[in-house]
Amino acid sequence: MAEPQSVKCPALFLTAPSSGEGKTTITAALARYFRDQGKVVRVFKTGPDYLDPQILAQASGQDVEQLDLWMAGENYCQQKLFEAAQTADLILVEGAMGMFDGEPSSADLAARFNIPVAIVMNVKGMAQTAAAIATGLANYRDDIQVAGLIANNCGTERHAQLIRDALPESLPLLATLARDPEVALPERHLGLVQAAEVYDELEHRFDLGAQWIKGPLAEANQITELPEPVAFLSAELPDLEPLLTGKTIAIAKDEAFSFIYDANLRLLEQMGAALKFFSPLHDDQLPEADSLWLPGGYPELHARALSENQTMQAQIRDFHLAGKPILAECGGFLYCLEDLTDLEDNCLPMAGLLQGNGAMRGKRGCQGMQTAMLPEGEVQAHAHHRSRSAATPEPVGYGRRQRHPAPGEAIYRERGLTASYLHLFFASNPEAIAAIFSGNLEERG
């Protein structure tokens, strides 16, 4: 085994006591601020997130990778950070949920790669208590380097001073950010709105955010200076076999289907596949292809338009009836059912590749890490949906939950179709993914 290479790059890991503290808004503002200074900023997002990376990619002008020790593996995360450090002037990592939530947590990721942590906290309605919480977080584990506190939604300079005075010397106040609703990012029922839908609005908010982090309450802010460099080491990843050479994969990508990891696209191309994108919403012609990928997204917001594009539905049905390989994930799975009841209780016919009915269910749903137990092998995955399916066929298998013994999401197989609520991380088992897209499917167990 070759000795690992090392490269240094300034880096900061933004985490928080909980969701909703302003991590994404502040990460995006920092990315835009340093980008405006002529710096190359590479941003990473902890965990299986599709929407935050879209926002952060627009803010930074660079692709955003998801990092997750369970989903992608330690070596994968290590190599991606090393590759970014070779060209970046700054690496920012946005955590997920609370600092210590999940197994592995944001804290685990920061500790593993020795990235200094900035604790982001919405301090509205508290002062010294914010210092107490931040101090508790900073001292909860001794394997984490905490750079300091970013106090978000700070009211006045006096408010900031109360927090600053209550913090120990070992935990500096990195920034005090004033309350400014114009900077906050727009949201909807599964999280942030997709970046492409509000591009101009986001540009305005990013520009405001870059000013915000050095605004009236920010005279002593340290986050406008590059953090200390971190040493990132290379890692050895297994070579990818050209298992999809000569195969063309048609991929649904539009307002309704956009939950696509760039890492998944890259892996398909590295295995030799040619990729063609199309829109089930707007196109009337399915591209010539050997296999089809219907990823997740927001079909419930576009159910009527999807239903009315009967030409596309008919072509996808013909593709399925010909026995060609199709992978349908979450929103793509709903599109494959006979009908979908949207958020306004309209029941609309879908493509009908698979028996069953889909329906939105308000704020109730399912989320969490699962392993897709496919006949071709195990693939790391996650679920995040607020819908249900009913009257579906007998599954070929189920997801295996990370920490719970109950069966996870059902996995269906009809002809060449593999469909489930699960979003798959392809790099966790390239051979199984290649088998799905090449049609080399194992018999039902």
Whether 239 is covered by a domain: the verdict is no
Give pLDDT < 70 ranges for the chain: 1, 186-196, 216-220, 362-365, 443-445
Look up the domain containing 53 and give its range: 7-233
- Contact in structure between 59 and 35 (CB atoms under 8 Å): yes
Closest CA to 414 of 295, 321, 339: 321
pLDDT value at residue 343: 87
Written as six digits, the tokens of 56 are 């952060």
pLDDT value at residue 442: 75
* Active-site residue, from 330, 336, 347, 366: 330
CATH number of the domain at 415, please: 3.40.50.880
What are the tens digits of pLDDT across the range 69-99?
999 999 999 999 999 999 999 999 999 999 9
pLDDT value at residue 187: 60
Helix-then-strand count for the chain, H and E: 12, 26
Is 330 one of the annotated active-site residues of the chain? yes
CB atoms within 10 A of CB 207: 15
Q: How many domains does the chain have?
A: 2
pLDDT value at residue 192: 45
Residue 48 sits in the same domain as residue 148: yes
- Contact in structure between 120 and 94 (CB atoms under 8 Å): no
Q: Which residue among 233, 267, 297 closes a domain? A: 233
Cα–Cα distance between 252 and 109 in angstroms, integer? 32
Residue 215 sits in the same domain as residue 298: no
Residue 290 sits in the same domain as residue 156: no
Residue 186 sits in the same domain as residue 335: no
Which residue matches tokens 């109950």? Answer: 406
pLDDT value at residue 221: 74
Residue 115 sits in the same domain as residue 256: no
What are the tens digits of pLDDT across the range 323-346?
999 999 999 999 999 999 998 999
> The whole model's pTM is what?
0.93
CB atoms within 10 A of CB 200: 7
